[in-house]
Structure 1
Amino acid sequence: MNKNHFPSWFRQFAKTTLVMACAVHSGQAVGHEKAAVIDGWVGTWAASPQASGDTFNAQTLRQIVRTSIGGSVVRVEVSNQFGSQPLRIANVRIALRGNGSSIVSGTDRAITFGGSTQITLPVGTRLTSDPIQFQVPAFGDVAISMYLPGATGPATAHQTGQQTNYIAPGDVGSSVNLSSVGTTGSYYFLTNLDVQNPQALGSVVTLGASITDGVGSNFNGNDRWPNVLAKRLLQQGIQVGVLNQGISGNRSLADGAGLSAEHRFDSDVLAQPGVRWVIYSDDPINDLMASPQPTATQLIDVLKRLIAKAHQNQIKFFCSTLTPYEGTTGWTSSQEQARQQFNGFVRSAASGCDAVIDQDTATHDPAKPTWFLPAFDTGDHLHPNVAGLAAIAHAVDLGLFTAPPSTPLPPVQPPSECGALSPGQGLTRGQSLVSCDGRFSLTLQNDGNLVLYHGSTPLFATGTVGSTAAEVLFQQDGNLVEYDSAGQVLWQTRTAGQGGAMFYLQNDGNLVIYDSAGSPLWASNTVTPMAP
């Protein structure tokens, strides 16, 4: 390519980049003992959405959320992912929970979306609120209320909430006490509560089925194994958000009770705020109990694909062995054989897992390894009780979240032309990429910060000043990543999975990653008009 010209498709898209960049995502910084994202957002609670037949009309929902970590700024996400019609939501509010359906007087705050107190969500969409100042307690209860002014149609829900939530007639979200209250054990339309916490290292997603979702735990007890893990982390002063993305009945190979683990991995894991780790738990048990029964190889192949996708996004993948379930209705020796094969692979050096959470060893009866230890069995021989759930949580090594790993730095080639990086090219400390008109430069500075300049005026930076940044690499998968000297990710554009992509420092001052078809995937939003 001539260094003074860009391809025709590039010139066409460059003209509209400022508009389209609003729809693409910004880079995120990940690093040991630093906030997990540049903008500071980390998830403290989540519930994976699924379809339901429940409907609402002119009612207020007040839903109780048990947090993992605290924070001083908050935002929520609402979803119409599985709706059949546009969803109207109004008067969304957040407060500290009092007793029952009441809130603590004086703590109630309004939540807006793009400055508005009323929104309409198209079918299949989610929406994140504006941030507000609000002191979120660690491992405490927050009440989130929303008014549904019209008929909702079938609600997007999380069915096994294991928590009493409240339904009241009319627009009463700001009321301290609710009257004529109905109750439900599910969550509706609410998928995320995020916080800003400068001490947060990131979030861990627990991806699984009913054992993760909390079947076997006490209703309103907040003693699911992810809750117990969150409490253990807090007791050790480790600020990591724990996001429970379990769905009862979920499988890895087929949709049904929610989308399959593979089909929801992008939204329920990769898209979670501040995610740095994922623990993959009990989905394959439901696969094994389905008809026809899949082979262990099929389950292992899904696991391999999930591991690869996590690693492409610089997320550590912790595998779990499958708990025993002999004695439950439908158990067969063929299922047991496949379970053992799956567990054997997970424990092997060839698995690709970054760590293993040995739920099997933590819960089985040493005298009868294909059965639960009686003290851990709810009685259905499939779900562990509260003691068994605690045993699973205690099988997680907390050092996994604090030990700074060290990996070799990937090789990086210098830019071969002005204003562009091809896959495999990048910058080392002190190097710059210069736009073809010479007005703009992208420099990996000696202080560790990657900065875009217009002459001497900074337009964009990764915020990694003071780090041991060693290189910036435009990877073969389309992700632009800044690595420290230990090979750990400091910042990235999160555009992995886009082979054939290209990175450009345009003559208008915008940094843009385009996919192989010429559509923008990420932009720095730094278009700078030329002086008249």
Structure 2
Amino acid sequence: MRAFTKKAGAAAAAVMAGSLLLATQFSGTAVADTAALTQKVVAKDLLGPGEWLLPGQSLTSGGGRFRLVQQHQGNLVFYDGTKALWTSPTSGRPGAKATMQKEGNLVIYGADNKPLWSTPTAGNPGAYLKLPEQSGVLVIYSADDEPLWSSSAYIGKLPSGHVLRPGQWVQSHNGRFKLMQQDEGNAVLYDSQGGQRAVWTTPTAGHPGARSIMQRDGNWVVVDTNDKALWSAKTAGNPGAWLAVGNDGQVIVYSGDNRPLWSSRGRK
């Protein structure tokens, strides 16, 4: 698979249907009344800072192939034609609405104006969401056009409470390294320099459907389809810990206050 570029067209399509858990932080920004929100809706292929999608409203790619629709039943859905490629885990919340917040995260608010779900991209003022022309991957870019999040991958980190399902990955910011949750069960770190070379793996192959979880207790765990732990980094007891894929090719679990707890090159 090719690394992300500044255009969404360089990424491979993958579905994260309902796989993202609730992000750990929301901005808490108050939501204005619906009449006021209608002044900020845009009908284009980009959702900029402070712009909204209300129930039934959508963005459409330039060629018309891809759409991002804020469904009346609450979930935000990314379509290729009539096929859903990705959806937020907010179905069953009629009246929900989505906004690209000025501090950088995409947030879905319920009808009661409480946050339901968010991308882990706060702290990036001016970030924007862009529909692709061909790739089938929805991407949030920073103000200087660097990818921060996509519907198929995390960029740089896997936050606390988030999951990698088969076919999903965490990619280093420089695009060279990719931690992929494989279909056969193991999480593999790839180096794209000179080809696609595996440089590290969890010992969990042979368990199709397994997924990686950055648990809220701080432990990075690979579990099977019955939620049985197959392997872990043994970092429990550190609530808020998160996983990073660095530009140097290391997978590191950091504590909530950014202390290294575990590394793919040996315990820290």
**Structure that is richer in strand per residue:** 2
Q: Which TM-score tier does this pair reach, normalised by the shorter chain?
A: 0.3 to 0.5
TM-score (norm 2): 0.46
Q: Greater CA radius of gyration, 1 or 2?
A: 1
